[in-house]
Chain A
Amino acid sequence: MLECKNLNIYKEDIILVENKSFLIQKSEIYTLTGMSGVGKSTLLKYICGIEQKSFTYEGEILVNHQPVNHLPTNQRGIRMIFQNDLLFPHMNVIENLLFAIPRKEKNSKEEALTLLSQLQLDHLPYKNINTLSGGEYSRICLARMIINKPSVLLVDEPFNNLDKKTKNITKEFFYKNISEMNCATLIVSHNLEDIYSNDKVIQL
Chain B
Amino acid sequence: MNGLKLLTNSNFSYRILLLLFALIALVIGNICYEVFSKLNAQSFLDHCSDLLTSISITFFNNIIATILAIIIAFLITNYLYNKKFFKSSFLIILISFPHISYCIGITYLFATSGFFARLFAFFYGNDIPFISERGDTSSSLIYIISLALREVPFLVLIGLSVLKKINALQIQKQVLVLGHSNLSALLCCIFPIWLKSMGLPILIIVTFCFSNYEFSSILGPQFPHMINVKIIESWYSTNLDLIQQMNSLIIITILSSILALTTLYTLMQLLISYLKNKKFSASSNYNLFLLGKIFYFMVIAIFTTILFITSLLSIGESWFFPTIMPSNFSLRGFDYMVDNYLWLFFSSIFISSLISILCLSFIIILIETSKETKSIYKFLFAISLMILVMPQNIMLISITSLMEKLTLFSVSFWFYFSLFIYIIPYTYFMMKQSYDDLNPQYIHNSDILGITRFKSFFLIKLPMMFNEFLFIFGVSFSVCFYQFLQGIIVTKGEQGLFNNEVFILFSGESIQTASAGSMMNFLPAALIFIIISLRYRYVRV
Binding site for B on A (CB under 8 A): 48-50, 72-75, 77-82, 84-86, 88-91, 95, 98-100, 102, 144-145, 148, 150
The yes or no answer to B179 lying at the interface (CB within 8 A) is: yes
Can you identify 24 A-B contacts, CB atoms within 8 angstroms? A50-B176, A50-B177, A72-B176, A72-B182, A73-B177, A74-B177, A74-B283, A77-B179, A78-B177, A79-B177, A82-B170, A85-B174, A86-B171, A86-B174, A88-B171, A88-B174, A88-B189, A88-B193, A89-B193, A90-B196, A90-B272, A91-B276, A95-B276, A144-B178
> Please, how many angstroms separate the alpha-carbon atoms of A29 and B180 in the complex?
25
A102, B171: Cβ atoms closer than 8 Å: no
B178 is contacted by which of A50, A72, A90, A148 (Cβ under 8 Å)? A148
Interfacial chain A residues near B284, Cβ < 8 Å:
72
The yes or no answer to B173 lying at the interface (CB within 8 A) is: yes
Q: How far is the CB of B125 from chain A (nearest CB, A)?
A: 52
Interfacial chain B residues near A77, Cβ < 8 Å:
179
A82, B178: Cβ atoms closer than 8 Å: no
The yes or no answer to B93 lying at the interface (CB within 8 A) is: no
> Please, how many angstroms separate the alpha-carbon atoms of A57 and B189 in the complex?
30
Across the interface, name the chain B residue whose C-beta is closest to A150.
B179
B276 is contacted by which of A72, A78, A79, A90 (Cβ under 8 Å)? A90
The yes or no answer to B487 lying at the interface (CB within 8 A) is: no
In the complex, the 10 A-B pairs of residues with the closest C-beta atoms, listed nearest first: A73-B176, A80-B177, A90-B192, A86-B174, A74-B176, A100-B178, A90-B193, A74-B179, A88-B189, A50-B173
The yes or no answer to B507 lying at the interface (CB within 8 A) is: no
> Please, how many angstroms separate the alpha-carbon atoms of A78 and B179 in the complex?
8
Q: A79-B178, A144-B178, A148-B179 are in contact. List 7 more A-B contacts (CB 8 A).
A: A50-B173, A79-B179, A80-B177, A81-B177, A88-B193, A90-B192, A90-B193
The yes or no answer to B11 lying at the interface (CB within 8 A) is: no
A74, B272: Cβ atoms closer than 8 Å: no
> Please, how many angstroms separate the alpha-carbon atoms of A145 and B173 in the complex?
14
Interfacial chain B residues near A72, Cβ < 8 Å:
176, 182, 283-284
The yes or no answer to B63 lying at the interface (CB within 8 A) is: no
> Please, how many angstroms separate the alpha-carbon atoms of A53 and B192 in the complex?
28
> Please, how many angstroms separate the alpha-carbon atoms of A114 and B438 in the complex?
42
> Please, how many angstroms separate the alpha-carbon atoms of A91 and B181 in the complex?
18
Across the interface, name the chain A residue whose C-beta is closest to B275.
A90
| Residue picked from B171, B176, B182, most chain A C-beta under 10 Å | B176
Interfacial chain A residues near B177, Cβ < 8 Å:
48, 50, 73-74, 78-82
The yes or no answer to B475 lying at the interface (CB within 8 A) is: no
Binding site for A on B (CB under 8 A): 166-167, 170-171, 173-182, 188-189, 192-193, 196, 272, 276-277, 283-284
Known: A88-B171, A88-B189. A99 touches B283 (CB 8 A): no
Interfacial chain B residues near A85, Cβ < 8 Å:
174
| Residue picked from B167, B173, B182, B196, most chain A C-beta under 10 Å | B173
A74, B180: Cβ atoms closer than 8 Å: yes
Interfacial chain B residues near A78, Cβ < 8 Å:
177
B176, A86: Cβ atoms closer than 8 Å: no
> Please, how many angstroms separate the alpha-carbon atoms of A81 and B189 in the complex?
18
> Please, how many angstroms separate the alpha-carbon atoms of A82 and B181 in the complex?
18
> Please, how many angstroms separate the alpha-carbon atoms of A27 and B166 in the complex?
36
A99 is contacted by which of B166, B170, B182, B276 (Cβ under 8 Å)? B276
Known: A48-B177, A74-B176, A79-B177. A86 touches B192 (CB 8 A): no
Across the interface, name the chain A residue whose C-beta is closest to B170.
A86
Known: A50-B176, A95-B276. A74 touches B181 (CB 8 A): yes
Interfacial chain A residues near B167, Cβ < 8 Å:
86
Interfacial chain A residues near B171, Cβ < 8 Å:
86, 88
> Please, how many angstroms separate the alpha-carbon atoms of A72 and B286 in the complex?
13
B173, A99: Cβ atoms closer than 8 Å: no
Interfacial chain A residues near B193, Cβ < 8 Å:
88-90
Interfacial chain A residues near B166, Cβ < 8 Å:
89
Interfacial chain B residues near A91, Cβ < 8 Å:
276
B179 is contacted by which of A88, A89, A98, A102 (Cβ under 8 Å)? A102
Q: How far is the CB of B232 from chain A (nearest CB, A)?
A: 41
A75 is contacted by which of B174, B188, B189, B283 (Cβ under 8 Å)? B283
Q: How far is the CB of A88 from chain B (nearest CB, A)?
A: 5
> Please, how many angstroms separate the alpha-carbon atoms of A85 and B174 in the complex?
7
Interfacial chain B residues near A86, Cβ < 8 Å:
167, 170-171, 174
Interfacial chain A residues near B192, Cβ < 8 Å:
90
Across the interface, name the chain B residue whose C-beta is closest to A147.
B178
| Residue picked from A74, A79, A90, A98, most chain B C-beta under 10 Å | A90
Q: How far is the CB of A204 from chain B (nearest CB, A)?
A: 21
Q: How far is the CB of A137 from chain B (nearest CB, A)?
A: 13
Across the interface, name the chain A residue whose C-beta is closest to B196.
A90
> Please, how many angstroms separate the alpha-carbon atoms of A77 and B276 in the complex?
22
B283, A82: Cβ atoms closer than 8 Å: no
> Please, how many angstroms separate the alpha-carbon atoms of A145 and B276 in the complex?
18
> Please, how many angstroms separate the alpha-carbon atoms of A141 and B355 in the complex?
50
Interfacial chain B residues near A100, Cβ < 8 Å:
178
Interfacial chain A residues near B174, Cβ < 8 Å:
82, 85-86, 88
> Please, how many angstroms separate the alpha-carbon atoms of A80 and B174 in the complex?
8
Across the interface, name the chain B residue whose C-beta is closest to A154.
B177
Interfacial chain B residues near A48, Cβ < 8 Å:
177
Q: How far is the CB of B163 from chain A (nearest CB, A)?
A: 14
> Please, how many angstroms separate the alpha-carbon atoms of A77 and B179 in the complex?
7
> Please, how many angstroms separate the alpha-carbon atoms of A48 and B175 in the complex?
13
Interfacial chain B residues near A99, Cβ < 8 Å:
178, 188, 276
> Please, how many angstroms separate the alpha-carbon atoms of A79 and B272 in the complex?
26
Interfacial chain B residues near A80, Cβ < 8 Å:
177
Q: How far is the CB of A180 from chain B (nearest CB, A)?
A: 19
Across the interface, name the chain A residue whose C-beta is closest to B272.
A90
Across the interface, name the chain A residue whose C-beta is closest to B195.
A90
> Please, how many angstroms separate the alpha-carbon atoms of A24 and B278 in the complex?
34
> Please, how many angstroms separate the alpha-carbon atoms of A95 and B277 in the complex?
8
Interfacial chain A residues near B178, Cβ < 8 Å:
74, 79, 99-100, 144-145, 148
Q: How far is the CB of A96 from chain B (nearest CB, A)?
A: 10
B188, A82: Cβ atoms closer than 8 Å: no
Interfacial chain B residues near A90, Cβ < 8 Å:
189, 192-193, 196, 272, 276
Q: How far is the CB of B180 from chain A (nearest CB, A)?
A: 6
